[in-house]
Amino acid sequence: MLKKHIALIAFWILFMLPGPAAAKNTEDSLLQIPFQQIAEQARNHQVRWYMFGGWAHVNAWVDTYVAGEMKKRYDIDLVRVPMDAGIFINKLLNEKAAGKKTGNIDLLWINGENFKNAKEAGLLFGPFAQQLPNIRKYVDPESMAHDFGYPVEGYEAPYGRAQFVFEYDTAAVSAPPQTITGLNEWIRANPGSFTYPQPPDFTGSAFIRQLFYAVTGGHEQYLSGWDPDLFARKAPLLWNWLNAIEPFLWQKGQTYPKDSAFLDTLFSRGEVAFGMSYHPSHAQNKILEGSYPKSVRTFVMKDGSIYNTHFTAIPFNAPNKAGAMVLADFLISMDAQLSKYHPDKWGDFPALDLKRLNPKERKQFQSVDLGPATLGSDTLNPVAVPEIPSDYLEALEQGWKEHVLDN
Amino acid sequence: MSWTIKHCLRLSPLILPYLVLFCGGVFLTVCQSFGILTPLPHEGGALDAYAKLLADPAFFASFFFSLGVAAVSALLAVITGTILAYRVWQLPRQLATASLVYKIPLILPHISVAFVILIFWSPSGIVASVAHWLGVIQTLHDFPNLLYSGWGIGMILAYTLKGTPFSMLLVMALLFRFDVRQIQTATMLGASGLRIFFTIVLPRLAPALHTGFIILFLYSFGAFDIPYVLSESRPGMLSIHVYNLYFKHDLARRPEAMAILVIMFCFAVLFIIAYSKIVNRLESGVRKL
């Protein structure tokens, strides 16, 4: 009896002791060994991808195309878990505080201030990006050096590109404004027909950043990093602009839509004249889905339209880091990027550098029919302006509450 | 000694989760509000978050607005619940089973009630569409602005709808044990229906009314689901403000989010103590039947 107990205890001690140390070694080696071996390690395992789950068409693309290809190519079972970035960051923070060495998230869809938060709190594994062959082959290193002005340092792999667009219904508005000044005049001439999601909503926050560039003389001045004096000097221009139009907004500016989904609903019901999205193909997707009328089109302001890159990253306690790397690599592959670009799949813009493709591959991207509601890169690229460093983003969101909402 | 240990062990399934989850949670919240054990190292003093909140008029606006919404909706729910329960109790026996319908909103989640209110009362909702179809209003813009009036009417409606059957349930439990002969005697002596209700029935229901009010009031004060769907941007409900600070802002602002939670928790505890003290004092003057 006693012997049995001792044996059991010894078993548990043996079982528990070498675990973390061994795991640590293999993990670090993932950052050195050839990708072939990583893919071999990942074979026949499960990869759990935590990502924003609010878009049915994106979920369908992941569940069918990505999951199917991962199974076929690498024998990996992909499990998609829908969760907002802010929530999984907090989950990881709690796990880190509790000393949980093996979590249940393998890959994250992340960018911007969530990435900054995660990296600063030591929640990420890496740098892994340069280990991925498709990144070395297709991605312009410059395009993945910064995420909202915060250095990426290989802790994220790019997988898509987004740019801010406005949406309108050609049946209701004949000529949408072309500039921010024009928008201002339009709002005053059509009281109650314009609004934007309340920051810190992702889309609403992007809208005020874009305005910030436009009403304070361009984006260049902010890109060199956080400058409190500059912000203190420039921000009042934005607050004045927003406060001046507030009485002419939907519900007289008494309230703002809580998130972009709310604005989409208002727009589709005709309560407001303009929708907005950080995804150029959003309107086309909504038309295909049947929730927007076929007459909806998108437009951009000549003053500039913000673009960003979205990324994937691997948590410090991911149980299957090799699998996560294989998935991150597949997502930036030529095949996945092309499939993702089709508007009936997702319509997300490629994060790879088209110049690095051979002419035949480039032709495949150029011949994708984006649909009548999505603007082509010939319209989008000339007005594209980069994202602001994330310190400004936080200051703008906080300032908006203080100077516009609570004013 | 061994007696207490034995009892503690027996109670452990109850005490352990309480200690670990509830007390642990409160402890961590208080710590983080002082900038201790935060995900990012906290720069500045322990009381910075509180100082910042207490200097911010918007915080007080939110606080009192949340309080107002909670108080009005809890009061409305308790009053309607009591009147309805009393009427249902007076129904003939055959109808009593049918009146169980009142329990349906009890099983509806709060979030569904919020959507019901949204779908019916928004400026392009069902009521507005019907009014437009009947020609009562010319365009959808003419519909009175119930949900976005700045008074939290949408939330008050939702909480009242959800709270009424709950207070009915509490009141019914007392009514079913009520001695009908007291009412019969009063009627024979010529008391009016109103007089009977206020002097005989209501004092007996007081415990249920107080409990109902405290539970509904504190729940609506801190709850998140209904405000998430129905609240307006200004003045915002506290719970939404905490949610935004916790999930959507820089991690450096974690102490602020936690400080709001601590203030809300302290308020709830103080409220319960003050409320029961006042009720006790009031009731000690009342002759017990």
Is A255 in Cβ contact with B249 (below 8 Å)?
A: no
pLDDT (average), residues B100-108: 84
Neighbour-count burial for B176-191, b at 16+ CB within 10 Å, e otherwise: eeeeeeebeebeeeeb
The chain B residue lying nearest A403, using CA atoms, is B58
Enumerate chain A positions whose Cβ falls within 8 A of a Cβ in B. Answer: 84, 86-87, 90, 93, 96-97, 113, 116-117, 120-121, 192, 198, 200-201, 251, 254-256, 258, 269-271, 394, 397-398, 401-402, 405-406
DSSP-derived 3-state class of residue A405: helix
Q: Which of A200, A251, A394 faces B148 most closely, judged by CB atoms?
A: A251
Domains and CATH numbers, chain A: 33-160+310-374 (3.40.190.10), 163-308+382-405 (3.40.190.10)
- For the cut 50, the answer to whether the pLDDT of residue B130 exceeds it is yes
In a domain, B74, yes or no: yes
**How many domains in chain B?**
1
- Give the pLDDT score at A24: 56
Q: Quote the minimal CA–CA distance from B250 to chain A in Å.
A: 7
With a cut of 70, list the residues of chain A below it in pLDDT.
Answer: 1-26
| Contact in structure between A111 and A308 (CB atoms under 8 Å) | yes
In a domain, B204, yes or no: yes
- For the cut 80, the answer to whether the pLDDT of residue B97 exceeds it is no
- Give the pLDDT score at A9: 52
In a domain, B47, yes or no: no
In a domain, B265, yes or no: yes
Is A258 in Cβ contact with B148 (below 8 Å)?
A: no
DSSP-derived 3-state class of residue A380: helix
Backbone angles phi, psi at B209, to 5 degrees: -65, -45
What is the CATH classification number for the domain harbouring B217? 1.10.3720.10
| Domain of B63, in residue numbers | 57-284
Read off the pLDDT band of B289 (50, 70, 90).
Answer: very low
- Give the pLDDT score at A11: 47
- Give the pLDDT score at B32: 93
A290 burial (CB, 10 Å; 0-12 / 13-18 / 19+) is exposed
Q: Taking Cα atoms as reference points, which of A191, A170, A171, A187 lies closest to residue A179?
A: A187
- pTM: predicted TM-score of the whole model, two decimal places: 0.82
Task: Count Cα neighbours of A328 within 13 Å in the Cβ-side half-sphere.
Answer: 36
pLDDT tens readout for residues B57-76: 989 999 999 999 999 999 99
In a domain, B116, yes or no: yes
In a domain, B35, yes or no: no
Q: Taking Cα atoms as reference points, which of A73, A78, A143, A67 lies closest to residue A111?
A: A143
The H or E element spanning position A47 is strand A46-51
- Name the average pLDDT for chain B: 88
Task: Count Cα neighbours of A393 within 13 Å in the Cβ-side half-sphere.
Answer: 28
- Give the pLDDT score at A121: 92
DSSP-derived 3-state class of residue A214: helix
| Contact in structure between A92 and A105 (CB atoms under 8 Å) | yes
A197: left (phi over 0), alpha (psi -120 to 50) or beta: beta
- Give the pLDDT score at A102: 93
- Give the pLDDT score at A26: 66
In a domain, B249, yes or no: yes
- Give the pLDDT score at A18: 43
- Give the pLDDT score at A27: 73
In a domain, B200, yes or no: yes
Q: Quote the minimal CA–CA distance from B58 to chain A in Å.
A: 6
Residue B174, number of CB atoms within 10 A of its CB: 17
